[in-house]
Structure 1
C-alpha cells in the first residue's frame, strides 16, 4: 500500500544558530546554537529516518538504494534534493557554492549546490547578502584582498514570504534574524569567502576557501529572473516560485479541502503552518506545522483538508 513517508528531521548545531526551531516549530533541538533542521535528507552528513509504515526506521539513503521504485526509478546515483530549515540567529558566513562539474572534480564526486530560500519569518529590517558589485574577476580578487566588504557585497532587504533563487556561483549569506526554508541540491559543499573575523570558543577563526570561491563565483553577478505566479484551485492557492534544472518549488495554501494528483517521480512536502490531514489511498494521515514527508511514485490522487501552508518541491 502506498503511503506518505513521514521523516524524522536531523538537527545541526552551528556557530550562528539559535532557538527559533524550537520556538517556532516545537522541535527538540540539541542546544541553543541549533542552526539547521535537515528535514528531508539523504545526505550522509545527516540522513532522515522514516517514522511510519513498513519502512519505519530506515534512512532515506537506504530507501533510495534499496527501494528505488518508490521514487519512480529516478536515475541519479544519490537522492537529488535536500530540504532544510535554517535559523540565522546571527549572520552566516559569506559563501559561494560550486556547480556539479567543479564539485565532482574537486570534492570527491559531491554534487554542486544550487539552492533557493523561502523566508518563513524575519526580524524588522532584516536583510541578506545576494550577489556582489565586482565587474571582473580581477576586481573581485582585489576587493576581497583589500577587505572592501561593504563595497563588494550586495545587501537586499527581506520580509516574510519572499523567495530567492540562488544558483551555484552566487555569492550569498543569510543575515541575522531570518528563518528560512531552503530547497537545494543534496550537497554539503560550501566555500567561505568572509566570516566577519569571528572566532570559536577556542579562539580559532573558521577556515576560508578563497581560491576555490573565486574560481567558482559568477562575475559579474546577475539576478535570477523569476516568474512567480499564484493560481487558485478549489480549496487552495498554489504559488509557483521556480521551475529550474535541479528542482521546482511551490507554495500550497490549503483552506478547506483540495484534491491533487501526484504525477512526478516523487514530491517533497514541508508544513510551515497550520494543521489538517492528507488522504492517500483511502487512508487519512494527520499533518501539522513542522511535519515533513514524501509522496512516492504511484501515489496518484490525494487530498488535503484543513488550514495549511506547505512548501512542495520535486526534482
Structure 2
C-alpha cells in the first residue's frame, strides 16, 4: 500500500468572521464562501479530517489512514495524528487568543494535545502586524489590564513581512492581523481561548464567547520570546532552510530551482506547495505537483527526486 506513492489530500475549509477570498484567488481552492478563513490542508483532526485523493485509500480520511494503516507512518505511537497543517487568510483581525499546553488540555479539556504552533508568513499587506505577547510583568498586572480593557497597553504588536517565521509555544498571547496569509504548522488541536475580540458581532448580531479565566490560567506571564536558530543547506537544485526543530515538529522551507535527489531520513513528511510547480519522482512513478497541492510522503518511500521551480513548506514530527 502506497509503497512508492505519495498521499495527496483534499483540504477542508472553515468559514470565519475574519476570513476572505484569498484561498480561492491565490491557491485556486473551491471555497464555500467569501468569508473563508481556514484551509485545513493536512488534517486528521475529527473537526475537519482531510480526504485522500489517490491510491488504495482514495476517499478515506487521513484519520482513517492513521488508525488503520500505521505502517504508512513508521508505526509511530499515539492514538491521534500529531500534526495539523493550515493555510489561513486573515482578511480581518483574528481575536486575541491563547492555547493550553498538553497537560492542561488533557486534565481540563479531555483532549490529547495542547496547541503549540508556528507561522510562515506567505504574504501580507504593507503595514500588517501580529499581536505576539504582552507587556504585563505579573499575573496581577495582566488580570488588571484585561479587566479594565487596557488592550493598547497590554498587547505587544510587531510589524511583519512576507517570508518571516514565528514560533508560538502554548501559553503565548497572540493574534494574526488583518491582511495576512500564513501557513500554520501546529499540534493537532482545536482548543482556543479568546481573550479579546474587538467587541465585534457575528452575522446574527452576537458577540463571540470569551474565555478570560482559562486564558489567564494558561498564559505565560511575563511574556518570553522563544529562541530558535534556523539553518540553511544547499543541495543540488534545492535550498533547504530548517526553520525550527523542537519537541512537536521540525519545519523546513524548501526552495527548488532545478533538480534534487533526496533520501527520506524521517518517518514521513508533510508537504505544502506554496509557489510554482515541479515533478515529484518516487521509484518509477512521476507526479506533477503545483501551487496549492498538499501531500504526505509516507514512510514506505525511501527516496525521491524533485525537479522544477517551486517553494514548499515541509514538516515532520
Distance across 2 between alignment mates of 1:201 and 1:296: 42
| Alignment counterpart, residue 63 of structure 1, candidates 62, 65, 71 | 65
TM-score, structure 1 normalization = 0.99
Cα distance, 1:209 vs structure 2 = 0.3
Matched residue, 1:293: 295
Find the counterpart in structure 1 of residue 184 from structure 2.
182
Corresponding residue for residue 216 of structure 2: 214
The CA deviation at 1:110 is 3.6
The CA distance in 1 between the partners of 2:201 and 2:115, in whole Å, is: 26
Q: Give 4+ residue runs of structure 1 displaced > 3 Å after superposition.
A: none
Q: In the alignment, is the contact (CA less than 8 A) between 1:170 and 1:218 conserved in 2?
A: yes
Distance 1:89 1:109 in 2: 30
Q: Is the 2:4–2:285 Cα contact (8 Å) retained in structure 1? A: no
Aligned pairs, how many? 315
Cα deviation, residue 274, structure 1: 0.1
CA distance in 1 between counterparts of 2:233 and 2:315 reads 16
Equivalent in the alignment of 1:137: 139
Quote the offset at 1:275 in angstroms. 0.5
Q: Distance in 1 between matches of 2:288 and 2:203?
A: 42
Task: Name the SS for the 1:45 alignment partner.
Answer: coil
d(CA) in 1 for partners of 2:70, 2:204: 45
Contact between 1:263 and 1:298, CA under 8 Å: does it hold in 2? no
Q: What is the aligned counterpart of 2:228 among 223, 226, 239?
A: 226
- The residue aligned with 1:154 is 156
CA distance in 2, matches of 1:84, 1:215: 27
Contact 1:267 1:312 in 2 (8 A): yes
Shift of the alpha carbon at 1:266? 1.0
**2:164 & 2:37 partners in 1: Cα distance?**
20
| Aligned equivalents of 1:141, 1:281: Cα separation in 2 | 58
- In 1, are the aligned partners of 2:80 and 2:112 still within 8 Å (CA)? no
2:285 maps to: 283
Aligned-partner Cα distance in 1 for 2:300–2:29: 31
Equivalent residue number for residue 48 of structure 1: 50
Give 1:201 deviation, angstroms: 1.6
Answer yes or no: is 1:261 the counterpart of 2:295. Answer: no
Unmatched segments (≥5 aa) in structure 1: none
- State the partner residue of 2:119: 117
Alpha-carbon deviation of 1:27? 0.6
**Helix, strand or coil at the partner of 1:180:** strand
Q: Which runs of 5+ in 2 are unaligned?
A: none
> 1-side partners of 2:131 and 2:124: how far apart?
14
* Contact 1:262-1:298 at 8 Å conserved across structures: no
Give distance in 1, aligned partners of 2:215 and 2:84: 22
2:21 aligned partner:
19
Q: How far apart in 1 are the matches of 2:120 and 2:5?
A: 27
Residue 277 (structure 1) shift: 1.0
Residue 107 of structure 1 deviates from its aligned partner by 1.1
1:306 aligned residue = 308
Q: How do 1:232-243 and structure 2 match up within 5 A?
A: 232-243=234-245
Q: Take 1:31 and 1:130, find their aligned partners in 2: how far apart are those partners?
A: 29
Q: CA deviation at 1:298?
A: 2.8
State the Cα distance separating 1:109 from its structure 2 match: 2.4
Deviation at 1:264, TM superposition (A): 1.4
Mapped to 2, the partners of 1:13 and 1:87 lie a distance apart of: 10
Compute the displacement of 1:129 (Å).
0.4
CA deviation after TM superposition for structure 1 residue 105, in Å: 1.0
Q: What is the DSSP-based 3-state SS (H/G/I as helix, E as strand, rest coil) of the residue aligned with 2:289?
A: strand
